[in-house]
Amino acid sequence: MRIPFDVPSYLDHRSQCRIVATTPEKNPVLWEQFLDGAQESYTRHGVTAALEMSAIRDGNTTRLFFAALDRSGTILGGVRVQGPYASVDQAHALVEFDEHPHGRRHVHAMLDERIDHGVVELKSAWVAPNAPRGRAITAMIAESPAYSTALLGARYALATAASHVRAAWLETGAVIATQIEPIPYPDERYRTEVFWWDRKTLAFEAELATWRRMRRNTASLLAHHRSAIVLPQAVAS
């Protein structure tokens, strides 16, 4: 697949993929490939309903998506981004906590505190089973909150994820909402937790090497983007 030169992207040496940040409108063919890969991945894990394909297929709820493309242009994984939200009730995390009122109240309160500063939400992450460097693509997905907030001008990123990916998220500066008990979502096999990233404190929360890499990649993405948002220089680089 050929991506227009002006699409924000960077070369990820760990996965040996080019990571592109684009929209369903600008790259509809790639969007369809993203959805096909997500569908296959979620079906393989028996959680197809959590993808909510009928709701996301038209791309209207997706402000941005990241795709990892190998040298042949084949998509090997990615994640999509919703927001920045205009209201708390737009957050999908609230839907996931519908049957857990105590946790839902906490999620709602945290959103309410942050919404005026900009909140984006990461959804539909997947990695192809045949990806030769799948862990590196998972690491890229974990870094995408930093890139999303920079590209979209938001301070905060939110994600709900099963506890088995906790280490990858924490390395990129995520903070677990420990006051919220993990929930069995999408089903009893998973213990899903709430994670937050704050663009203003990533330099202190992320691993140093990861922070430096995220700064470099953010600069590459913003070189093709008119936003003046940059990650703050809070540690030596």
Statement: residue 165 has pLDDT above 90: no
Average pLDDT of span 139-151: 96
Residue 124 burial by CB count (10 A; 0-12/13-18/19+): exposed, middle or buried? buried
pLDDT at residue 4, rounded to an integer:
53
Taking only the tens place, the pLDDT of each residue in 73-91 is 999 999 999 999 999 999 9
Tens digit of each residue's pLDDT (9 = 90 or more) over 43-73: 998 888 888 999 999 999 999 999 999 999 9
What predicted TM-score, i.e. pTM, was given to this entire model? 0.90
pLDDT recorded at residue 236: 30
pLDDT confidence of residue 187: 82
Return the bridge partners of 183, or none: 192
Name the least confident of 31-35, 160-164, 194-198: 160-164
Question: Which of 132, 29, 120 is CA-nearest to residue 79?
Answer: 120
* C-beta of residue 96 within 8 angstroms of C-beta of residue 68: no
Query: What is the residue whose two structure tokens read 């203003």?
Result: 200
